[in-house]
Each structure stands twice: as C-alpha cells, then as structure tokens.
A and B are shown apart, each in its own frame.
Chain A
Amino acid sequence: MNVATPSVLNLTELLSRVDNDRELVSELFFIFKSVFPSHLQRLRDAVAKELPKQVATESHALKGMLLNLSGVRAAALAADLENMALEGKIAGMREVLTGFQSEVETLLLQMESIESQR
C-alpha cells in the first residue's frame, strides 16, 4: 500500500482509529467524495461574497470531516480558513482557499490510490 505521503492522509492513524476496518475506511472515503463538492461550492461562494460567518460554518464542517479521515494538511488549512473568518480577516482567504483546494485534490488522489490497492 502506498503511504508515501502520510502528511496528506495518515492512513496508519486512520486505521488505528477504526480498529483496522478497511471496509469502513472505504465507506468513509465514499461519503466524503459524495458530500465534499457541495461543501466546497458553498465555501467558494462564501469566500467570493466575503461572508465570514458562512466561511466559518463551511470550513468548520470540512475541518471535522478531514480530521476524521486523518487528512491532516487539508484539515489544517480548513482550520486556518475558519480562524480567519472568525477573526473577520477577509484578506488572504482566497489564497488559503486555493491552497486548500489543491490539498484536497491531492488527498482525493491518495484516496483513489488506496482504494485501487485494496
């Protein structure tokens, strides 16, 4: 199994939290892939419209999901967005959002890679 980039998705930690249940991991990946696009869209809209409350809500929800999946780096960026929104720091949000999207794309690729090796 390819776990060359554990900082993107820490599979070892994830497996230990689900009692090594790989089927459950697969199910969680599936749920994430299903719900992520709508959350991302709402987050993009909120950032574009500079609505800090909505940014905080969406980034908080994404942070929770990513932490549960051990997507540490993407979760950290979602947390940055949430904190910026809570502090009302509109400037810089777009840049962090771009980084977040890129990180999640990498994460999704890693999920695909893990799935293909099952």
Chain B
Amino acid sequence: MKILIADDDPISRRLLEKTLRRAGYDVVAVPDGMAAAEQLCIQDGPRLALLDWEMPELDGPAVCREVRKKKDQGYVYMILLTSKGLKTDIVTGLSSGADDYLTKPFDSGELKARLRTGERILHLEGRLVEARENMRFKATHDSLTSLFNRGVIVELLGREISRSRRERVPTAILLCDVDHFKRVNDTHGHRIGDEVLQEAARRLLLSVRSYDYVGRYGGEEFLIILNNCDPASAPRRAEEIRKSLSDAPVQTSVGPLSVTLSMGVHQTKNWGVRSVEELLHEVDVAMYAAKAAGRNRISFTKPDVSSDAECLAPTEPAQSLP
C-alpha cells in the first residue's frame, strides 16, 4: 500500500521511510506540508499519510484541512506525528481532520499497529464504495444485457432532446426490435433467447460511439440515441447498426442463429414542443412500419418539423430501407 511521509526533519523522515519500507509499504517521502497536500490531492495519490505537526509553509493540521476540503476523492487516513502531548494539542489535531496521532519518537510496533487500523478503515471504505457502485449499477442497468435500463435510457433521451433544442444540434433516436424473437424463445427456449439478447446488446454497443447511448427499452426492444448525429450520416449509421446484427449469425448454445433487427429512426434538431413520450411514439410507429414492410429494415419518421401545428400532426414513415 502507498503511504505518504511528510516531515521536514531528515532523521525522522529517513527513520520512518526505512521502517515502513521494511513493513512492506510503498513510501512517498516529502519534506514539507505543501508537497504533502499536493501528493494527497492527486488522483491515485497515497491514501495513508503520516504528517509531522510542525512543518514549513503548511503544518500537519493545515494539510489535514486541505485534504478534507476535497470531497470528490477517496478517503485519506491521516496520522499526525507530534512531540506535543497536551490534550488541547491533540484536540486541535483531530479537529483539523486527522484520524489519529502518534507521539515522537515513535515506537515502530505502535506505528505499525496504528497504520493497520488505518488500513482497516480504508478497506472498509473501499467495500462500502464498491457496494454503493454495485447498487447504482443495478439501479440503472438491465441485469441481462448490462445496457441502460428503460428508466435511464428514457431519461437520457429527455436530456439529449433538451440539449439538441438548446444547442440546435441534430440528434437521432433509433428504436430497434429483434425480429421474430418470440419464435426464438418458442423454438429454443428462454435461455437461448437471453443469449440472443445479450449478443444483440453487445453488437449494438460496439456499433456506436463511446458518447452515444444504448438501452434496453423493452423485452426485445433497444433504444439508441446518437448524439450530434449529422442528418446526412444518420441513415448510414442506422444501416451499420442494423447490419451489425444481420451480417453474422449469433452463436448460441444450440448453434448459430440468424438474427435481424427492424428499426424506426427519428432524426432532427427541430423537435418542436413534442414530449419525449410523443417522440417515442413516433419512432415506435416508424419501427412498426419497418416490421410491416418485411422486417430487417429501417423506417424513418418525417425528417423535420417547422411549426407546432406540424409537430402535433401524426407523423408518417417517410421511407423504408431494405
């Protein structure tokens, strides 16, 4: 584990460095408080620190205060080294944000025991953060495909439409449905159906840019949001996504299966005053048009609206790509 030693006394610094290296720590040693605060505030900096109380520029308690100001980083466990033994000093040190203190000259056994306490706290914090991240992931992602779940992808669509309206940049909404998915389930069982969905999700994710969004909208439906998607390139990109599934069979436990997508696409920067629900309905209508036209194809909604009246008018699918 990485540990920071900050002490302007070269004897103390060397003594600590040698003791801690021998105990297996990866030691970073600095001679003043400024360097200590800098080290402790960088990404992937040490999470365990031994700080001398009296140092030039920033003393130990001031370093603690600086580090505690940073809310966006992992916890740093800090021990103040002091030859001050008065209760008021100890209270001052702990009030500054230090977790513990150690009196100089230190006993190596006591030092290691106190550092182990720090490690236990950091380990516990790590487990809590991991648990929180797991819960956050579960709350926002579909458990089968690991894509965004319906709630999140619809929320992202709302945000993206607002941004598109505000910045006058085009966005494309793609609603994809796996063709004849019921037949896959009925013929091969739900386990194979799940394998198909997982592979479809993987291919969709691979076929978009890192800043586009892909989510599982329903059973075998996927919603894709292509940010800043140039109007001229939207059909090509939709076609690439469609082909990502149709070009190669999906390898399942029962062998390769041909899987295709029908897709409805809505692409514009003139969203008018329509709600997200209305837009989703329009793209859903386009997707069903692609199904009706023979499946494994793309259908576009009316490309643009220029007034509220047109916004509210029913949108007809404009064209279908095979």
Interface residues of A (CB under 8 A from B): 17-19, 21, 24, 27-28, 31-32, 35, 60-61, 63-65, 67-70
Q: Is the CB of A68 within 8 A of B108?
A: no
Partner of B10, one of A35, A60, A70: A35
Q: Is the CB of A70 within 8 A of B105?
A: yes
Cα–Cα, bound, A27→B9 (Å): 14
Cα–Cα, bound, A67→B84 (Å): 13
Distance between A69 CB and nearest chain B CB, rounded to angstroms: 7
Q: Is the CB of B104 within 8 A of A64?
A: yes
Residues of B near A17 (CB, < 8 A) are 15, 105-108
Cα–Cα, bound, A67→B19 (Å): 16
Closest to A24 in B: B18
Q: Is B117 an interface residue (CB 8 A)?
A: no
Cα–Cα, bound, A64→B83 (Å): 7
Cα–Cα, bound, A43→B182 (Å): 88
Partner of A21, one of B18, B105, B107: B18
Q: Is B22 an interface residue (CB 8 A)?
A: yes
Chain B positions 88-120 with a Cβ under 8 Å from a chain A Cβ: 104-108
Q: Is the CB of A68 within 8 A of B54?
A: no
Residues of B near A60 (CB, < 8 A) are 54, 83
Q: Is the CB of B18 within 8 A of A65?
A: no
Q: A67-B105, A70-B105 are in contact. Are A19 and B22 (CB under 8 A)?
A: yes
Residues of B near A68 (CB, < 8 A) are 9, 11-12, 15, 104-105
Q: Beyond the given A17-B107, A31-B10, could you list 8 further A-B residue pairs with CB under 8 A, ordered by the A residue number?
A: A17-B105, A18-B108, A19-B22, A28-B14, A31-B14, A60-B54, A64-B9, A67-B83
Distance between A110 CB and nearest chain B CB, rounded to angstroms: 16
Closest to A62 in B: B9
Q: Is the CB of B108 within 8 A of A67?
A: no
Residues of A near B221 (CB, < 8 A) are none
Cα–Cα, bound, A64→B10 (Å): 10
Q: Is the CB of A65 within 8 A of B11?
A: yes
Q: Is B230 an interface residue (CB 8 A)?
A: no
Interface residues of B (CB under 8 A from A): 8-12, 14-15, 18-19, 22, 54, 83, 104-108
Cα–Cα, bound, A34→B225 (Å): 67
Residues of B near A21 (CB, < 8 A) are 18
Cα–Cα, bound, A63→B12 (Å): 11
Distance between B60 CB and nearest chain A CB, rounded to angstroms: 13
Distance between A59 CB and nearest chain B CB, rounded to angstroms: 12
Residues of B near A61 (CB, < 8 A) are 8-9, 54
Residues of B near A69 (CB, < 8 A) are 11
**Interface CB pairs A-B, < 8 A, 5:** A18-B19, A28-B11, A28-B15, A61-B8, A64-B9
Q: Is the CB of A65 within 8 A of B12?
A: yes
Distance between B5 CB and nearest chain A CB, rounded to angstroms: 13
Q: Is the CB of A67 within 8 A of B104?
A: yes
Cα–Cα, bound, A69→B22 (Å): 19
Partner of B14, one of A19, A27, A63, A67: A27
Cα–Cα, bound, A69→B9 (Å): 12
Residues of A near B83 (CB, < 8 A) are 60, 63-64, 67
Residues of B near A18 (CB, < 8 A) are 15, 18-19, 108
Q: Is the CB of B11 within 8 A of A31?
A: yes
Q: Which 5 A-B pairs have the closest CB atoms?
A: A67-B105, A65-B11, A68-B11, A68-B105, A64-B9
Q: Is the CB of B11 within 8 A of A32?
A: yes
Residue of A32, A63, A64, A70 with most partner-chain B CB within 10 A: A64
Distance between B150 CB and nearest chain A CB, rounded to angstroms: 61
Q: Is the CB of A24 within 8 A of B54?
A: no
Cα–Cα, bound, A60→B14 (Å): 18
Residues of B near A70 (CB, < 8 A) are 105
